[in-house]
Amino acid sequence: MNKNLTKWLSSFIVGAMVFTSVPISNISTVNAIDSKDKTVNTPQINPENNANRVELVEERSETSKTFLNPDGTLTAEISQKPIHFKNTKNEWQPIENELKINAKEQVFENEANSFKVKFNQEQTSDNPIMEIEDNKTSAEFELAPLEHTDAEPTITEGIVDGESILYPDVYPNIDIKYTVGNDRVKEDIIYNEKPSEGFPDQFTYKMELNGLIVKESEGIIYLYEKENNEPLYYFDMPFMYDSYKPEGFQSVKEIESIPEDAISYDIQLKHEVINNELFLHVIPNKEWLEDEKRVYPLTIDPTLVKLQSSNYVVDTNIRSALPTQTGGNDTEIGGGRYDQNIIRGLLKFDVSSIPVNSDVMSSRLNLWYSSTSNNNKIDLSVHNVTKDWSENQATWNLAKSTPQTPWTTKGGDFVSVPLSTVHGLTGILDLAWAQMSWDIPTYLTYSWMYNPSSNNGLLLKSVQENVNTYKKFISSEHPIDSQYHPMLVITYKTSARLGLEDYWKYDVHPLIGGNVFSNITTANNVVQYNDFSLLARGGYGFDFTRTYNSKSLEKSIFGYGWTSSALENLFINSSGNTIDYTDEDGTTHTFTYDPATTQYKSGPGKYLTIREYSKLENNRVNYYYELSDQ
């Protein structure tokens, strides 16, 4: 069967290429080179980890950054939550959530993210306390009077500390604190002492929605973008905790850690919509709040979360003593035992930023040790999970609640032989020395790369679950800087080391009619000739180039190692879920199929898509592949 490639650049179809799912040696279709100016990103040094490696800015993704190592290998650091956002130039930029004053509007706002959060300098009863904006949508949050006393929010000045703002005494002895995370806005309702009037049955927020509609699914309240009917935000399940610290409990001083017996998940979210205004009701268990054992301050914690583009970036805890309770909003993840309660952690990462045709050298999971119930020594192991699960649905009994999917064995389905183990964890270290690492076998990383549906993540557990202690680590939900969040670190080599790319360093020498480029890192010599050029208006000019890569083993009509503008080609893997596109200078770029858009999407740095379609022509079906800017 013939398959044709149509390449679209700058809204102009310039060529076609006949190919099959295996390489064809006589492809000779000529495709145009985009002659528009391209922004060259300057490599950035990451001084915190290794001064000798360079960040490849053009390889960024939403959740990962990639570094070029001195030996020519690449290292990707993959987070679970967004660490970058796309600016108006469609470039990935670091997220910066520190609150700065907007003098024009007289509000505090986060510095750089895909969504803008604004807080009034002064909280008043007749103005929204917070507004969140995202493209053409926005939501304004207003505090309602306390349900049981009708106390109105008072006028109070906001106090900014980094990514957080505190409004003291918004109600009598009640502070309200907001923290902006990379993908969320976390609110803390803080009771500084037990209220003499008792606790309200519920806390109510009024939200004016612009371009947003409310939908509830599987018990979760979503805000959908009205124009395209796509989910944009959801309200995470809240929890509450007091300041009780049991004997022996330790935590690093840099974070607020919550002991197991200081937390309660017995809290509900309900809502109603009246005239496009959302009334959100936070309903805590009053019996827990009014218990004489409570230690103040006491905090109730609802959170608004922005949805991500990937389903593989989650973590949660499951507990034997709370077999139907989810823990997706926990700020720490851990393993161990507390009295009769066994705690295990689940984690999952998106590895799509690693090119599929790469040679993986090593993989490891990094977690930052943050708290323990006591100094008892245990070993913690990570295991390969064998059943798919959902962050906000997984419990000790269930992998998912909708559709109801129980674990085959309560406590999670996983391979009993550990992938790796950290031995002898006892007391807490300083955060600067708190990083713990588990090696992940490369075969498992390959499985996740080549078959994303096999990525069920990792399970963290104590080897000695009969020993009464638990060890916890900072989770992706914690408001601390994202450098301390769970991280998957993968070092690899890729065939894309051929060709000419902005992030490589070259020793360049002129030739008659061309240039020779010596890649200083990979020792690949690139010879390139521009045989002819056709000038045209509007950036539609055409250049015909021939390129030689000394490390290439491919044979073309020009000989071994040679390619050209006429020899760009595609290779489709047997399952059809990835396409390797080799450009005019021999560099290979991997595109991965996205079922949501029915397109193949390029890896970090290229911002391209390939669309597949077919036509019935001369009694046979021809398949076409259109390459275009995203």
Write the pLDDT tens digit of every residue in 442-476. Answer: 999 999 999 999 999 999 999 999 999 999 999 99
C-alpha–C-alpha distance, residues 433 and 429, integer Å: 6
| Residue 259 scores a pLDDT above 60 | yes
- pLDDT tens profile 598-627: 889 887 666 788 988 888 888 888 888 888
C-alpha–C-alpha distance, residues 177 and 191, integer Å: 11
Contact status, residue 342 vs residue 473, Cβ threshold 8 Å = no
147 and 278, same domain (yes or no)? yes
Q: Distances from the Cα of 277 to the Cαs of 170, 274, 302, 440, in angstroms?
A: 22, 5, 19, 48
Q: Average of pLDDT values for 243-249?
A: 96
| In-domain check, residue 67 | no
Q: Average of pLDDT values for 139-151?
A: 91
32 and 130, same domain (yes or no)? no
Q: If pLDDT is split at 50, 70 and 90, which confidence band does 43 have?
A: very low
Contact status, residue 149 vs residue 142, Cβ threshold 8 Å = no
Q: If pLDDT is split at 50, 70 and 90, which confidence band does 19 have?
A: very low
What's the domain range around 304? 115-248+259-309
36 and 129, same domain (yes or no)? no
Residue 166 identity (one-letter amino acid): L
123 and 20, same domain (yes or no)? no
Percent of the chain with pLDDT over 90: 63
| Residue 208 scores a pLDDT above 60 | yes
- pLDDT tens profile 333-375: 999 999 999 999 999 999 999 988 788 989 999 999 999 999 9
156 and 278, same domain (yes or no)? yes
Q: Average of pLDDT values for 562-584?
A: 80
Q: If pLDDT is split at 50, 70 and 90, which confidence band does 3 have?
A: very low
Higher pLDDT, 614 or 422: 422
Could you write out the DSSP letters of every residue in 461-509? Answer: EES-TTSS-EEEEE-TTSSS-GGGS-EEEEEEE-GGGSS--TTS-EEEE
154 and 295, same domain (yes or no)? yes
| In-domain check, residue 131 | yes
Is the peptide bond prior to 200 cis by the omega test (within 30 degrees of 0)? no
Among candidate residues 66, 1, 3, the one with its CA nearest the CA of residue 355:
66
Size of the chain, expressed as the number of residues it contains? 630
Q: Is the pTM of this model over 0.85?
A: no
C-alpha–C-alpha distance, residues 329 and 314, integer Å: 10
Structure confidence at residue 539 (pLDDT): 60
Structure confidence at residue 37 (pLDDT): 30
Domain end point (choices 284, 309, 334): 309
Domain end point (choices 293, 309, 325): 309
Among candidate residues 162, 165, 156, 96, the one with its CA nearest the CA of residue 131:
165
Which H or E element spans position 442? helix 442-450
| In-domain check, residue 450 | no
Q: If pLDDT is split at 50, 70 and 90, which confidence band does 45 have?
A: very low
10 and 141, same domain (yes or no)? no
| Residue 2 scores a pLDDT above 80 | no
| In-domain check, residue 546 | yes
Helix ranges (DSSP H) in 265-393: 286-289
| In-domain check, residue 559 | yes
Q: Average of pLDDT values for 208-213?
A: 96
Q: How many domains does the chain have?
A: 2
Q: Per mean pLDDT, which range of 19-33, 143-157, 345-359, 408-422 is the poorest?
A: 19-33
| In-domain check, residue 341 | no
| In-domain check, residue 481 | no
- What is the chain's mean pLDDT, rounded? 86
159 and 277, same domain (yes or no)? yes
Q: If pLDDT is split at 50, 70 and 90, which confidence band does 41 have?
A: very low
Structure confidence at residue 474 (pLDDT): 97
Structure confidence at residue 417 (pLDDT): 98
Q: If pLDDT is split at 50, 70 and 90, which confidence band does 439 have?
A: very high
282 and 196, same domain (yes or no)? yes
Higher pLDDT, 147 or 474: 474
Tokens of 608: 């391209």
Q: Per mean pLDDT, which range of 121-130, 213-222, 538-547 is the poorest?
A: 538-547
Tokens of 613: 């379609």
Contact status, residue 90 vs residue 607, Cβ threshold 8 Å = yes
Q: If pLDDT is split at 50, 70 and 90, which confidence band does 280 have?
A: very high
C-alpha–C-alpha distance, residues 626 and 33, integer Å: 15
- pLDDT tens profile 394-418: 999 999 998 999 999 999 999 999 9
Q: Average of pLDDT values for 165-175?
A: 96
| In-domain check, residue 285 | yes
Among candidate residues 146, 168, 181, 481, the one with its CA nearest the CA of residue 297:
168
Which range has the top average pLDDT, 320-334, 408-422, 561-575?
408-422
159 and 269, same domain (yes or no)? yes
Domain end point (choices 239, 274, 309): 309
Structure confidence at residue 34 (pLDDT): 30
Higher pLDDT, 14 or 154: 154
Structure confidence at residue 7 (pLDDT): 39
Which residues, at least 6 apart from 168, have a Cβ–Cβ distance to it below 8 Å? 156, 159, 175
- pLDDT tens profile 77-119: 999 999 999 999 999 999 999 999 999 999 999 999 999 999 9
Structure confidence at residue 604 (pLDDT): 67
Q: Average of pLDDT values for 152-161?
A: 94
